[in-house]
């Protein structure tokens, strides 16, 4: 994609990418499924109605097959139960042959390879089926497929209508969508919920720091006191909570509402029994007011806000705004913040067109479009309830990703909650994810964060005519997935570095990921040449830690000049148990044991 931008001037016009709010919410709370002390099943609906789990014994030589609608296990007593309880399908619960477990010895020792999920007809009584299978001598145990509250599901009463975090296809009630058309936030929270050391600067209309769901999350400048003196020497007097560039004072309180909504999406206090949940549970929100009470602002405010945020420790800068004119000043401010390792997240615009807005068009930002509750791009008439008859998510060659941006329930000005819509609302979802990544791995560069968010986005989940394979101008790399992004930080990434010659062929194997690689199998092969020995060498490495490297080598004798004989081709490959694999080939000449890489 082409993201080269030439700045031709500056302008002070703003277009802020959100649409008018709709007030209202559907508060609800989830009930407890199990007693806290015994784990006893309290509600019979707390397990899947047509599934149960079976773990077979070590000596159960099960081999499942089907003929027509009949499932066979290879064991007659089990086949009788399969028929009696109308078993429709049997699958491994932990498909070890596909996911290649990190520790295969532990995987099999525990017996995860012997656990299967049985799917039965809806009318089958699961408890009766479980009891019958439990009595079979080839079954170690059988149990219902229980439904439990995930570890990171918050108790905020409006969480159920926050479809962008977890979409079950029924919420919000007046605009339901498609199940799992969300960022997989609960799954992500099982990995990381955030750190208070990560600061997200909200460049916006300000933030209502008195809101009960935000008051505990506001950044405090510990080096400044309210005494009329610039204690920390940063050029701003008494900037205890941030700065108001629209009015040039130290009171970045929201006087419009837009900024408070976006702040709540990023980081509303979560699991506190109040209101809504934020993407990040613990980050600090730095109010930087660069939009005035009618939701517009000067580029100079934006540029100053970018510098302020970067200089005062922000790791993420969220900018739900844009102007139609390029500006070198604004671009320089973006580049400055980027140079201080800030991740800058910007909205695409709401025209349903390929109109370019800034700073979204600059290369050192993440440009974000908006999706609806069914994962399709927001288009007319999606935003009509919010006062935009022809509004839709902008697209173009500079878009990076998309995120939920319609009927987004969040904190609102004056201590209430409202639904809003627009690419403005999609942007803080990405900002919150960036904050979670920094919390999980503080050493990340901004380029790495941007790359992780893009490569782990879900592709081809939207309108097939627009959301084509790979990057496209409507969805970018896809709709963000917070769980997959954080999971990436736990996985290895194998890479072949240099391949050098000499008296031996030596290749460098790197693990550029964050997780350890285990059970590495490597191979070096040579094709071409004349009388080359050996042709292949292989080996194994028990483990390679994240960020680690090792050398692979082989000696070789023969002739291969690429003149009278086919040009020798050296191929180095490696795989690990965690499903990372790599292969690299180079041409070479070989003359009596001396290898020269071309």
**Three state DSSP letters for 373-423:** CCCCECCCCCCHHHCCCCCECCCCCCCCEEEECCCEEEEECCCEEEEEECH
Identify the CATH number of the domain in which residue 559 sits.
2.60.40.10
Q: Is residue 410 among the annotated active site residues?
A: no
Domain count, the chain: 3
Residue 129 has a pLDDT of: 96
Q: Are 149 and 159 in contact (CB under 8 A)?
A: no
Identify the CATH number of the domain in which residue 59 sits.
3.30.70
Residue 562 has a pLDDT of: 55
Q: Which residue is it, tokens 């995860």? A: 112
Which residues are registered as beta bridge partners of 166?
A: none
Q: What does the block give as tokens for 569?
A: 């081709």
Tens of pLDDT, residue by residue over 116-152, are 889 999 999 999 999 999 999 999 999 887 643 322 4
Residue 387 has a pLDDT of: 85
- State the residue range of the domain holding 251: 153-488
Let me know whether 548 and 520 are in one domain.
Answer: yes
Residue 263 has a pLDDT of: 98
Catalytic residue among 211, 256, 258, 282: 258
Let me know whether 75 and 186 are in one domain.
Answer: no
Residue 564 has a pLDDT of: 65
Residue 35 lies in a domain: no
Catalytic residue among 18, 318, 410, 424: 424
Indicate yes or no: pTM above 0.75. no
Let me know whether 510 and 526 are in one domain.
Answer: yes
Count Cβ atoms below 10 Å from residue 484 Cβ, excluding itself: 18
Residue 22 has a pLDDT of: 53
Catalytic residue among 184, 204, 208, 519: 204
What is the chain's alpha carbon radius of gyration, rounded to the nearest angstrom?
A: 28
Q: What does the block give as tokens for 93?
A: 């619960």
Let me know whether 474 and 325 are in one domain.
Answer: yes
From the first residue on, what is the mean pLDDT of each consecutive set of 10 residues in the chain (598 residues)? 34 48 36 25 57 90 87 94 94 60 65 86 94 96 62 66 95 92 96 97 97 97 94 91 95 96 97 95 97 87 89 96 86 89 96 94 97 97 90 97 96 93 96 98 96 96 96 98 96 94 92 92 89 87 94 83 74 93 92 84
- Decide which of 471, 488, 505 is a domain's last residue: 488
Q: Are 264 and 431 in contact (CB under 8 A)?
A: no
Residue 214 has a pLDDT of: 98
Residue 11 lies in a domain: no
- Decide which of 146, 175, 196 is a domain's last residue: 146
Residue 106 has a pLDDT of: 63
CB-neighbour burial class of residue 465 (10 A; exposed 0-12, middle 13-18, buried 19+): exposed
Q: Is residue 258 among the annotated active site residues?
A: yes
């Amino acid at each position: 994609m082409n993201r080269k931008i030439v700045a031709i001037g500056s302008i002070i016009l703003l277009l802020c990418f959100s649409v008018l709010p709709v007030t209202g919410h559907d508060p609800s709370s989830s009930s407890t499924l199990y007693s806290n002390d015994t784990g006893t099943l309290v509600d019979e609906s707390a397990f899947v109605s047509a599934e149960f789990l079976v773990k077979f014994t070590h000596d159960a030589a099960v081999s499942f097959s089907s003929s027509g609608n009949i499932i066979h296990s290879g064991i007659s007593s089990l086949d009788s139960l399969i028929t009696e309880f109308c078993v429709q399908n049997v699958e491994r619960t932990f498909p070890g042959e596909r996911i290649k477990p990190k520790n295969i010895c532990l995987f099999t020792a525990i017996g995860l390879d012997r656990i299967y999920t049985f799917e039965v007809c809806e009318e089958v009584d699961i408890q009766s089926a479980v009891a019958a299978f439990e009595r079979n001598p080839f079954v170690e145990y059988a149990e219902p497929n229980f439904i439990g509250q995930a570890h990171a599901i918050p108790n905020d009463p409006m969480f159920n209508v926050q479809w962008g975090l977890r979409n079950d296809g029924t919420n919000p009630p007046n605009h339901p969508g498609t199940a799992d058309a969300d960022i997989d936030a609960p799954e992500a929270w099982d990995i990381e919920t955030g750190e208070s050391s990560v600061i997200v600067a909200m460049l916006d209309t300000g933030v209502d720091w008195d809101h009960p769901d935000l008051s505990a999350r506001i950044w405090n400048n510990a080096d400044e006191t309210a005494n009329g003196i610039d204690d920390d020497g940063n050029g701003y007097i008494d900037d205890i909570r941030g700065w108001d560039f629209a009015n040039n004072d130290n009171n970045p309180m929201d006087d419009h509402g837009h900024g408070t909504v976006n702040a709540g999406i990023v980081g509303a206090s979560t699991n506190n029994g109040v209101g809504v949940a934020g993407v990040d549970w613990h980050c600090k929100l730095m109010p930087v007011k660069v939009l005035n009470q009618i939701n517009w602002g000067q580029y100079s405010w934006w540029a100053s806000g970018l510098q302020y945020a970067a200089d005062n420790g922000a790791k993420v800068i969220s900018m739900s705004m844009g102007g139609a004119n390029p500006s070198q000043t604004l671009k320089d401010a973006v580049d400055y913040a980027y140079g201080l390792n800030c991740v800058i997240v910007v909205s695409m615009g709401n025209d349903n067109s390929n109109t370019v807005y800034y700073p979204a068009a600059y290369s050192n930002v993440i440009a974000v479009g908006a999706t609806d509750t069914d994962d399709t791009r927001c288009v007319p008439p999606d935003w009509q309830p919010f006062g935009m008859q022809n509004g839709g998510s902008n697209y173009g060659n500079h878009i990076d990703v998309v995120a939920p941006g319609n009927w987004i329930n969040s904190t609102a000005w004056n201590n209430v909650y409202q639904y809003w819509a627009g690419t403005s609302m999609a942007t803080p979802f990405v900002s919150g994810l960036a904050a979670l990544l920094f919390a999980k791995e503080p050493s990340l560069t901004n380029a790495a964060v941007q790359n992780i968010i893009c490569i782990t986005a879900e592709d081809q989940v939207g309108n097939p005519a627009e959301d084509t394979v790979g990057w496209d101008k409507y969805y970018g790399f896809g709709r963000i997935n917070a769980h997959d992004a954080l999971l990436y930080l736990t996985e290895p990434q194998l890479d072949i570095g240099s391949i050098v010659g000499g008296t031996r062929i030596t290749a460098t194997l790197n693990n550029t990921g964050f997780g350890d690689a285990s059970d590495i199998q490597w191979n070096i092969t040579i094709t071409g040449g004349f009388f080359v020995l050996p042709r292949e060498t292989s080996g194994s490495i028990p483990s390679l830690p994240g960020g680690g490297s090792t050398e692979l080598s082989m000696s070789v004798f023969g002739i291969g000049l690429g003149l009278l004989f086919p040009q020798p081709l050296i191929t180095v490959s490696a795989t690990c148990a965690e499903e990372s694999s790599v292969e690299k080939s180079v041409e070479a000449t070989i003359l009596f044991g001396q290898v020269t890489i071309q």
